[in-house]
Amino acid sequence: MVIANATGCTSIWGGSAPTTPYCQNKDGFGPAWGNSLFEDAAEYGLGMHDAYKQRREGLALACREALEVPGISEELKTALQNWLDNMNDAKLSREYGEAVLDELTDVDGNPALEKLWTMQDLFTKKSFWVFGGDGWGYDIGYGGLDHVIASGVDINILVIDTEVYSNTGGQASKATPLGSIAKFAAGGKPVRKKELGRMAMTYEYVYVASVSMGADMNQVLKAFKEAEAYHGPSLIIAYAPCINQGIRKGMGRSLEEAKLAVQTGYWPLYRYNPTLKEEGKNPFILDYKKAPDGTLDEFLLGENRYAQLEKAKPELAKEMRATLAKQYQERFDELTELSK
């Protein structure tokens, strides 16, 4: 796994010494993590992807040349051909790559076979991911994110959506919903949130998922597995309760808050899988089909980003919450229609 991480909360929590979640497993395998600038994580990840792709094409050429070497064993020929046929399958590329290396027992003096040893890190197909927050994905880095998904390459993107610029002090971003207070939106954000997932779905060849771990961990796991398996661009948008939201019950109850966000209709759960369309099925799956339960106001007023406007300008707050409820009901109706 190769990770290109945008600067922000994801890089601070994921890449700070002396602890890190990016470590080796019992077999010695683990992710390679890199952090570039805030605005160019997607381009940074695309560069790493393209570099590996070019090097692996060189490995494929070397395997074809090795197949022409006189006197190589039938076992090596089979392993080489199996790898060439499955080089873009993560599991099989590793299996057949190891089979090739096992058969390279006597390569001294044979340049074509020696070359395979020098490229052995490329046999297993790598998983490429770009991590970032909503300030990056919806806003400052959106041009790069859009460029990557429009390229059609096999890269996965994870956007951690706190609906505000968290790492720089809580400024409004394009992910900030209508009526939410933030820096530069002290009177409540006057326009609705950008629908990043639905925008990405219009390409029709991008895997897209909207997830909330507190609401449905199985759905989160399905989304990650499907995104990884999909040979094309993938975008997962994950709801992330944040200290800047001012959750009144405390950050220790953040999973509960993430669950309430889904139950009240504030955050949708869905997956858009283009491979289903190729099978003649509806590519859009709405994973939480219950209509908003009428408790959206209660959810909103449990967070200071909405409750503070209620205290300062109650009439405006009430009007904005009513408009937000109407918008989210319409969004649910539209998503329900898409799932039919």
Rounded distance between C-alpha atoms, residue 283 and residue 277, angstroms:
5
Reported in sequence order, the residue ranges of the chain that DSSP labels E, i.e. its strands, are 2-5, 32-35, 128-133, 156-161, 207-211, 234-239, 270-272, 284-286
Q: What domains are there in the chain, each with its CATH number?
A: 38-122 (no CATH), 129-339 (3.40.50.970)
DSSP codes joined into one string, 21-71:
S----TTS---EEEE--SS-HHHHHHHHHHHHHHHHHHHHHHHHHHHTSTT
Residue-level pLDDT at 107: 67
Crossing angle between the packed helical segments 90-103 and 111-118, to the nearest 10 degrees: 130
Predicted pLDDT of residue 51: 96
Q: Which of 67, 46, 161, 173 is nearest to 116 (CA)?
A: 67
Mean pLDDT, each 10-residue run in order, the chain (340 residues): 91 81 88 89 96 96 93 92 95 95 80 90 96 93 96 96 80 86 78 95 97 97 97 97 88 95 96 96 96 90 90 91 94 96
Evaluate whether 284 touches 213 at the Cβ level (below 8 Å).
Answer: no
Q: How many CB atoms lie within 10 A of CB 334?
A: 13
Any idea which residue has 């009901």 for tokens? 329
Pull the structure tokens for residue 142.
Answer: 């959106």
Fill in the amino acid letter for 75: E
Structure token pair of residue 231: 């040979």
Round the CA-based radius of gyration of the chain to a whole number and report it.
Answer: 24
